[in-house]
Structure 1
């Protein structure tokens, strides 16, 4: 099994020149265009696309953000991939960012079932691969990584390679058996409205908690970028998940964790994760890389928090170099 833990990824000068060129993280790049697309049931969702990068085009990357996320947070990384020769697309999940809400208020993140998101990905993927050059890479962060893994296990997408940033393959929390955690969440959806917030966010709805950045990144400037976008595009603001979201997350995790589920996925999967993660389970990410027939993992320590792609340059450059080396190896365009 080609499982590689804590693999050091060399950072080439070309990588650094391509990705650290001056990018305004608080503006949509001129090379990108925002639009909407319709899911199979007609629900309208938001997307952003960078067209082909010219003669040196390497293929196409579809990036999907995490819970409560929005693609504006990742413009620096997405535009960097575009500049290095990839055609790039990113999209919101239904029920968050600019793609509406599914609960009882505009702040709490809710979903009836994670299979709804898997179905959206299946529909989007089918259309996207027909209109973009290969090889086709599926990349995602946190909850997006969970949904991508679920789609792989369900066999509804067939990318040439997958890249997962701090994937939510398990949630950080009490070290209790998954069935027990799921049982508690089920109980909580029955003793009150499943759409109610599962945890306290702040005294003022929509206002971020004071210590939130300590969970996400060491880079103050990149963290402030998110707050800037939330202020200038209020529709992006989201707070805690609902109890229904928590219960359905555990239910979907049980599907992924089932014996033989990940073992049947034959796609090359590169995971990068940090032992310092306080939001998702690092151990679950490493375990997934071990179970996947073509899984690899790059491990970070105290130097990285949950949002590795929005970390300080030294951390971020190492992650990007690892992605570049992986894609060069498994998703080269056949000339």
Structure 2
């Protein structure tokens, strides 16, 4: 366990961390940040993947925790969000033609990153990132030694209707208007954050304010609603994960952290995921945690990180040098 650090500047790129881009085969470049472990990365390597509309700056504090534990850490944007361009018709709406675009990007990054970094090799992901990692495991496109999923978007919070019905409604919406148009309203004033957004994400007002600071500091990170095309493809991808035998075939140890107070993704779907995976484990939280578990108030965040550390020590111990 790394020694506790009194302060960490969540509003600056840490010394020793390097920001760069990774060129995909089709020429699209995605942002990444790499940070060697405090002891040279002898503990292994963690690839962190954020959620929809997210950016890695929000998770620097968590990357620091792993860095100090000796992990070599990398985090990367998804194509079409944060500092990795846009795929829709404007700079705010998040759009994708199909989730397989993202899983193909992950497979490409994974192959190169794994070859260049020490093992064991871990994938950690939040929200939509967790969904995409599960898709990549089911295919399979990646072969990590272990996976950590924080509030994974296996299912979305919303009407308790069958996925087929929800997808059909979303598909209709892509036909009666441009599939790239926003699927929900962002705020009364364009570009202004919704007043209740922080209450959906974390109890920690200062950590939430960090996100707003980074959005002002780096305007290219700003993203609002998903498109109707994104919604329809999200439901289609969720149906793929719900297929009989899909998750049951995954033999990778997976730790799922989820909270019953989540109002953005389905806690019930996350619980089912941990139960369906042959090597799945669950850390279930309650009203003390909102969606961004790794950016919660210190007691919750500390518990989550301790659970992750214990899981990785057990299923992916340091390799002999």
Q: Secondary structure at the match of 1:260?
A: coil
Q: Secondary structure at the match of 2:158?
A: coil
2:295 aligns to what?
A: 310
Residue 52 of structure 1 and its aligned partner are, at CA, apart by 3.9
2:24 aligns to what?
A: 39
- Could you tell me whether the CA contact under 8 Å between 2:41 and 2:118 is conserved in 1? no
The reply on whether 1:246 has 2:231 as its aligned counterpart is: yes
Q: Secondary structure at the match of 1:172?
A: coil
1:319 aligns to what?
A: 304
In structure 2, distance between residues paired with 1:74 and 1:187 = 36
Q: Give the aligned CA root-mean-square deviation in angstroms.
A: 1.0
2:142 aligns to what?
A: 157
In structure 1, distance between residues paired with 2:45 and 2:83 = 23
- Could you tell me whether the CA contact under 8 Å between 1:107 and 1:205 is conserved in 2? no
1:331 aligns to what?
A: 316
Q: Secondary structure at the match of 2:155?
A: coil
Q: Secondary structure at the match of 1:225?
A: helix
In structure 1, distance between residues paired with 2:123 and 2:61 = 18
The reply on whether 1:71 has 2:76 as its aligned counterpart is: no
Residue 159 of structure 1 and its aligned partner are, at CA, apart by 0.0
Question: Relative to 1, partners in 2 of residues 1:331 and 1:21: Cα closer, same or farther, differing over 3 Å?
Answer: farther
Q: Taking structure 1 as the reference length, what is the TM-score of the superposition?
A: 0.94
2:218 aligns to what?
A: 233
Which string of whole-angstrom CA distances, capped at 9 and with x for unpartnered residues, describes residues 113-168 of structure 1? 00000000000000000000000000000000000000000111000000000000
The reply on whether 1:95 has 2:95 as its aligned counterpart is: no
Candidates 197, 203, 206, aligned match of 1:212: 197
In structure 2, distance between residues paired with 1:31 and 1:57 = 16
In structure 2, distance between residues paired with 1:250 and 1:206 = 27
Number of paired residues? 320
Candidates 172, 176, 192, aligned match of 2:161: 176
Which string of whole-angstrom CA distances, capped at 9 and with x for unpartnered residues, describes residues 216-270 of structure 1? 0000000000000000000000000000000000011111111000000000000
1:127 aligns to what?
A: 112
Q: Secondary structure at the match of 1:127?
A: helix
In structure 2, distance between residues paired with 1:206 and 1:146 = 27
- Which consecutive residues of structure 1, in runs of 5 or more, have no partner in the other structure? 1-13
Candidates 267, 292, 297, aligned match of 1:282: 267
In structure 2, distance between residues paired with 1:21 and 1:37 = 33
In structure 2, distance between residues paired with 1:25 and 1:92 = 18
In structure 2, distance between residues paired with 1:190 and 1:45 = 30
Q: Say which is worse superposed, 179-188 or 53-62, in terms of deviation.
A: 53-62
Candidates 184, 188, 199, aligned match of 2:184: 199
- Could you tell me whether the CA contact under 8 Å between 1:140 and 1:163 is conserved in 2? yes
Residue 56 of structure 1 and its aligned partner are, at CA, apart by 6.9
Candidates 46, 49, 53, aligned match of 2:34: 49
Which string of whole-angstrom CA distances, capped at 9 and with x for unpartnered residues, describes residues 269-308 of structure 1? 0000000000000000000000000000100000000000
The reply on whether 1:142 has 2:127 as its aligned counterpart is: yes
1:85 aligns to what?
A: 70
Q: Secondary structure at the match of 2:46?
A: strand
Which string of whole-angstrom CA distances, capped at 9 and with x for unpartnered residues, describes residues 180-210 of structure 1? 1111111111110000000000122222100
2:248 aligns to what?
A: 263
The runs of 4+ residues in structure 1 deviating greater than 6 Å are none
Q: Secondary structure at the match of 1:296?
A: strand
1:60 aligns to what?
A: 45
